Structure 1
Amino acid sequence: MSRVIDSILIPTDDSEGAIAGAKYGIALASRTDADVHVLSVVEAGGETDDLDDGSLSTLEENAQEATETVAKLTREFDEELDVTTTVERGTPFQSIREYAHRRDIDVIAIGTKGRSGLERVLLGSVTENVLRTVRTPVLAVPPDADVAAIDDVAFDDVLLPTDGSDGAAIAAEWGIALATLLDSMVHSVYSVDTNAFGGAQDPSELLDALERRGEGALETVRERARSADVSVSGSIANGAPATVITEYATDNDVDLIVMGTHGRTGIGQWFLGSVTENVVRQTEVPVLCVPVSAASP
């Protein structure tokens, strides 16, 4: 790519969660000079099959208004950004995925709760399906990350969790490239999950081995960051990976987490890694989820 991000897709249903995602997407687009695409999907099938043309037209008008709300936010914040609005009928996550593929979108910015979101610990079904199926990095924005104004969005501190896997390496490439563009400080953390120890090996020996592996994984991130002239720190922590990551982000006032959708336990493109899913569910910080199939920045 000539830039890390040339285009950002912002799906919207005009919910508070969607607007939270839009604010971060707009801020990122402004900082990277990316084109903005705003998409609202009128769900086809199910209850909508029984609606008459007038009712469907009303839904489409509401969807158009939702896209115009985000477009207005974008233009008011940065009038130089190019904005495209689109309304489609279909299954929301499939339409988002297909639009991103068709338009060669670089990042999808989406709130983790839409109109069907119930509790903070539950991922919105559309967001979850997008995360599970797209080949494009997804900026997942939780409700607690919402800001009063787009000016309040910060990318000063970026956290790159690592487990030494290929997925983590791809995410680190994206995170460091973004940090270069955004003038961010990079943090990296490796978690040693002592709860996973079995009785077949001396715990102290296993701990030493895992810590050595962690130092190697962290040094790889450090080397990449230093070669990009990006400030970087790294640390090893004991505990379940999702807990370590979310607590580190909170304790260190991290603005963005960048992590792969698959780590050492990932089994395929169509599945969201359990650590990533738990981080997205639990954190109050936006998470850029980078699939293993994402193009290198």
Structure 2
Amino acid sequence: MYSVLLPVDRNTDRAFHQATYVTRLADSGAAVEATVLYVVPPNTFDRPEDVEFSTLKSTVTAADHLEEAGVSVERVVDNGGIPQKIIHTANDIDADEIVMGGRKRTGVTQVLLGSTVQDVVLSADRPVTVTGGTVTLGTGRREVLVPVDRDVDRALAQARYVANLPNAAEHVDATVCYVFPHQDYAGAPPHEFAEVDAAVEAAAYLDGEGVTIDRLVIGGEVVSKLLDTAEELDVDCIVMGGRKRSGVQKVLLGSTSQDTMLSATRPVTITG
């Protein structure tokens, strides 16, 4: 079974869209088990241990939506440090994926990543998908866009995530994409997929796992090209390999991954 952790807050719309994303996984009714988790924030209830799952509209909405789609659901309430409890639960159930609902808008419609989402994305040792308050999904077969950079290890981590999706060989179409930065001007050199080792390795891995793939190279401003391509292909998810380590082993989120997460109308998965 493919195990998914859905940590929800009190926002019912975000919780619903997190659940919708999970129901769109291939064969979700038979192949997916979901744990809906609510972590009681510190200092919000006199007795956090008495908070019940059934009294929280967001958790019930997510769980009911999943069960209506045939997904097996475990309901969990915990309390303490929210990112830490999410990571602990993901490790405890050995989740294949954590699905967060983290995009928020300020009063001037600026999109922000919640601090909890940032902490989980940077701390988790497994894929984290961010859906947001709204989510646009494709139709039919599951379409994923896999934008790679020049790092072979990150590209292979992205490919492994896609190949591990439920019944990927039968139900997933993947487009492995490399954007040559700013090379969309007149007279720019031709773009060749074979020039990018990371793209070649990711495509070969997916091909070997039986996943249907397309190979795409384009030139231009990276984030805008990725977003345009995601819309053109009507993808269900953009699979990024965004975690990097600095010289002191601090985990960082690459600017391309962060900008894509903030700007995309579609779910974005960070694999590492």
Please confirm whether the aligned pair reaches a TM-score higher than 0.5, indicating the same fold.
Answer: yes
CA 286–214 in structure 1, closer or farther in 2 if over 3 Å, else same = farther
Provide the secondary structure at the position in 2 that maps to 1:72: helix
Q: 1:25 aligns with which of 22, 25, 40?
A: 22
2:82 and 2:198 mapped to 1: Cα distance? 37
CA 6–212 in structure 1, closer or farther in 2 if over 3 Å, else same = closer
2:55 and 2:95 mapped to 1: Cα distance? 21
Question: Can you give the 5+ residue segments of structure 1 that lack an aligned partner in the other structure?
Answer: 196-202, 292-297
1:258 and 1:247 mapped to 2: Cα distance? 15
CA 138–61 in structure 1, closer or farther in 2 if over 3 Å, else same = closer
Number of the residue aligned with 1:198: none
1:193 and 1:216 mapped to 2: Cα distance? 16
Select the structure that is richer in helix. 1
CA 26–230 in structure 1, closer or farther in 2 if over 3 Å, else same = closer
Alignment of 1:90-169 (within 5 A): 90-113=80-103, 117-118=105-106, 119=109, 121-145=111-135, 155-165=141-151, 166-169=153-156
CA contact (8 A) 1:260 1:290 kept: yes
**Which amino acid letter does the alignment assign opposite residue 12 of structure 1?**
V
Q: 2:39 aligns with which of 38, 41, 45?
A: 41
Aligned-residue sequence identity (percent) comes to 25
Is 1:77 the counterpart of 2:73 in the alignment? no
Query: How much does 1:174 deviate?
Result: 1.6
Cα deviations by residue, 1:200-255 (Å, 9 ceiling, x for unpaired): xxx97xx67x8577444333333223323332211211123222211111122122
Query: How much does 1:40 deviate?
Result: 0.5
**Which amino acid letter does the alignment assign opposite residue 121 of structure 1?**
V
CA contact (8 A) 2:261 2:268 kept: yes
2:82 and 2:124 mapped to 1: Cα distance? 13
Cα deviations by residue, 1:101-126 (Å, 9 ceiling, x for unpaired): 12211111121236xx5346211222
Query: How much does 1:65 deviate?
Result: 4.6
Number of the residue aligned with 1:200: none
CA 172–57 in structure 1, closer or farther in 2 if over 3 Å, else same = closer
Alignment of 1:1-297 (within 5 A): 6-15=2-11, 16-28=13-25, 30=28, 33-45=31-43, 48=44, 52-53=46-47, 56=48, 64-78=56-70, 81-113=71-103, 117-118=105-106, 119=109, 121-145=111-135, 155-165=141-151, 166-178=153-165, 180-181=168-169, 183-194=171-182, 214-262=195-243, 266-267=245-246, 268=249, 270-291=251-272
Cα deviations by residue, 1:27-83 (Å, 9 ceiling, x for unpaired): 3271661221110011014xx3xx644xx57865676553333222222221xx432
CA 82–31 in structure 1, closer or farther in 2 if over 3 Å, else same = closer
CA 31–286 in structure 1, closer or farther in 2 if over 3 Å, else same = farther
> Following superposition, which runs of at least 4 residues in structure 1 exceed 6 angstroms of deviation?
none
Provide the secondary structure at the position in 2 that maps to 1:250: helix
Query: How much does 1:154 deviate?
Result: 5.4
Answer with 26-35 or 102-111: which moved more: 26-35
CA 231–102 in structure 1, closer or farther in 2 if over 3 Å, else same = closer
Provide the secondary structure at the position in 2 that maps to 1:143: coil
Asked which structure has the greater CA Rg, the reply is 1
Cα deviations by residue, 1:274-293 (Å, 9 ceiling, x for unpaired): 221111111111122112xx
**Which amino acid letter does the alignment assign opposite residue 27 of structure 1?**
R
CA 212–84 in structure 1, closer or farther in 2 if over 3 Å, else same = closer
CA contact (8 A) 1:27 1:153 kept: no
Instruction: Indicate the RMSD between aligned Cα atoms, in angstroms.
Output: 3.0
Select the structure that is richer in strand. 2
Question: Can you give the 5+ residue segments of structure 2 that lack an aligned partner in the other structure?
Answer: none
CA contact (8 A) 1:67 1:86 kept: no
**Which amino acid letter does the alignment assign opposite residue 122 of structure 2?**
R
1:262 and 1:32 mapped to 2: Cα distance? 31
